[in-house]
A and B are shown apart, each in its own frame.
Chain A
């Protein structure tokens, strides 16, 4: 257990610290605790091969499947490969245990690794800070996230800085303007108005209980505690009742071409409005990206840029059905979407098969409490959901609305707060009598379309 240490803890500490620093730069939250853990793991595991050393790093630094590739890459960069086994985590099933061929002794391996770490260029040029972890790391010295965001959000020259007071009349005018016609700066001016909105979703009964005078269950612990004051006679029964909790709010944002301004506005709304912070946010174009963690660390502008970088091929069109399937398969049906209020923001232009979108909407509607589809194109009186995707999705939506400007956002907050289901079609897609009044205009057309 002390062989590694006898060799000199400096070597190991150096390796751990360097690896941690590189991982942090790459966006893995490798804090000092994890570095220390890695340094403790190595003497225990006494890795005989580079691959085993990599496995130590993997177990101690990674904390999600999406980080495995990063750990492997950074480790490979720093130590010159993961023992030549690139299949390490894409196909992590080790073909065969590599036995114990004549490998360097652990100490040699460590010394080797330390040398590699030292020789590694300390300050190679890096792309500007963009990671969620990278951006909020105070040690980076690249400026506060706010400043970084300000820079990112300033493509226009005459745009006022965030937080500068803006004339009310101008804001009023902007509030009626379609999000697509606003510059990023003007959109930021609307934060004040957006903060006044509340995204309240219906409540559900939680399984967690809290003390309540009218509860049904007797709280024995509390009753007994009180009984001790009265000589062991339980004179007053304490009761508990289930707590009420807001339902989970899930927002799925289409970030392809024309939808991007609306996605940006929606993220800003979630960022500003009360209750928005509780939402789980995903973006999609050709693939699904979970933004929730990123939003906690950085302003929406930057989070959206990141999501755009993650799916650089959105010009190829939106695959709503496929993205929805990914959502259903990975997180939605297993639990996240159960009993949740789901908001989908998209114009319904799906390059995939409408049948797929219909099937996925059906699956989602079976678990979700309500589905609200925000389609900015429905602001037009002439809009008819004839496009394959929108027509397919329509029967499964409880409400379809435009929410294309701040004024129109009130529709959204109202739709979110409304309890119960209002689906125009029943679950198998056949028409149900008396569709609700939500999104009345296009709704009728939907019914005609069948």
Chain B
């Protein structure tokens, strides 16, 4: 399997962390190292972590750093080869048959099952990416797919190749950097895990959350950013059904900017609690604990 040479763009993990930072994705050293190894070794990487911790964003940022397209496949139960890999363009094939008939020509299999009639879905599109740098293929929430789909991924992950019965095996010219994410709603197959590098993304500490908000919501003024980061940290300390993640912290800061609030106090927190907490039990709990609990100060 030819590995595209990324040594120029990604000389070491520290450079990748710095580049990700410039691309708007703040990360820590362990994740930086894991992504670096994934890109340089040409090995798929499985990212896990609680929802809203930035798994999908990591893949997007990696694509930005590599300056290549991000090709995303959202998994769901019943996902089939036709939706994930390729589909034949049936209307076009039918038309071609009719056309050939009217002209009195004979059609052979090879005429109908050629690249002209092939609709590339995300997986095939990632393999067909011409390069020179590999595309980033994000297989999102792979735990939502079913066992059959996981098994279907094996060939792609191990060989960077897929087999299309009518065309044979298609091998990637430039194997994509594959990022899989999972929310751990079910255990993935060991066979799938064995083919991947692995990283568990933790919820970042308050300073890093503040830095992320600063990066993602530039309009947020200074006292507000720290207050939101501390407020979310405080909410996470409560016994919530769904503790808010980084994504919620960013939405909260955005909401406050829209409201024109320059600081996070009890009143504003009460008005915007629905941006951060999505369960009525949690809102109820916050109401009992007092909105001061969400207050950043």
A293 B187 Cβ-Cβ under 8 A: yes
Smallest CB gap from B279: residue in A: A363
B29 A94 Cβ-Cβ under 8 A: yes
Complex Cα–Cα for A231 and B101 (A): 9
Smallest CB gap from A99: residue in B: B14
Considering the complex, which residues of chain A in the window 1-53 have a beta carbon less than 8 Å from any beta carbon of chain B? 1, 29, 31, 33-34, 37, 40-41, 44-46, 51-52
B33 A59 Cβ-Cβ under 8 A: yes
Taking residues whose C-beta sits less than 8 angstroms from the other chain, chain B's interface range is: 35 or more
Partner of A224, one of B29, B33, B90: B90
B194 A334 Cβ-Cβ under 8 A: no
Partner of A329, one of B144, B186, B200, B241: B241
Taking residues whose C-beta sits less than 8 angstroms from the other chain, chain A's interface range is: 35 or more
With A63-B193, A208-B80 known to touch, is A330 a contact of B184 (CB < 8 Å)?
yes
Determine which residue in A89, A228, A232, A293 has the highest number of CB atoms from chain B within 10 A of its CB, and name it.
A232
A46 B12 Cβ-Cβ under 8 A: yes
Tell me whether B154 is interfacial, beta carbon within 8 Å. no
Smallest CB gap from B240: residue in A: A329
A93 B208 Cβ-Cβ under 8 A: yes
Tell me whether A56 is interfacial, beta carbon within 8 Å. yes
Nearest chain B CB to A290's CB is how many angstroms away?
Answer: 8
Partner of A92, one of B46, B109, B202: B202
With A64-B198, A221-B88, A224-B88 known to touch, is A45 a contact of B183 (CB < 8 Å)?
no
Nearest chain A CB to B197's CB is how many angstroms away?
Answer: 5
Complex Cα–Cα for A333 and B240 (A): 13
With A55-B29, A62-B198, A92-B30 known to touch, is A334 a contact of B37 (CB < 8 Å)?
no
Complex Cα–Cα for A290 and B94 (A): 52
Nearest chain B CB to A358's CB is how many angstroms away?
Answer: 12
Complex Cα–Cα for A31 and B195 (A): 11
Partner of A55, one of B34, B184, B185: B34
Nearest chain A CB to B194's CB is how many angstroms away?
Answer: 6
Partner of A59, one of B97, B101, B197: B197
Tell me whether A287 is interfacial, beta carbon within 8 Å. no
With A224-B88, A331-B185, A334-B185 known to touch, is A206 a contact of B198 (CB < 8 Å)?
no
A206 B78 Cβ-Cβ under 8 A: yes
Smallest CB gap from A359: residue in B: B281
Nearest chain A CB to B122's CB is how many angstroms away?
Answer: 18
Chain B interfacial positions (CB closer than 8 Å to A):
7, 12-14, 17, 28-30, 33-34, 36-38, 40-41, 43, 45-46, 48, 51, 76-78, 80, 82, 87-88, 90, 93-94, 97-98, 101, 107, 109, 112, 143-144, 146, 148, 183-187, 190, 193-194, 196-200, 202, 204-205, 208, 241-242, 281
* A to B CB contacts below 8 Å, 14 in the list: A52-B13, A55-B29, A59-B34, A59-B45, A59-B197, A60-B197, A64-B48, A65-B200, A92-B30, A93-B205, A207-B77, A331-B185, A336-B185, A336-B186
Chain A interfacial positions (CB closer than 8 Å to B):
1, 29, 31, 33-34, 37, 40-41, 44-46, 51-52, 55-56, 58-60, 62-65, 68, 88-89, 91-94, 97, 206-209, 220-221, 224, 227-228, 231-232, 234, 242, 280, 290, 292-293, 328-331, 333-336, 359, 363
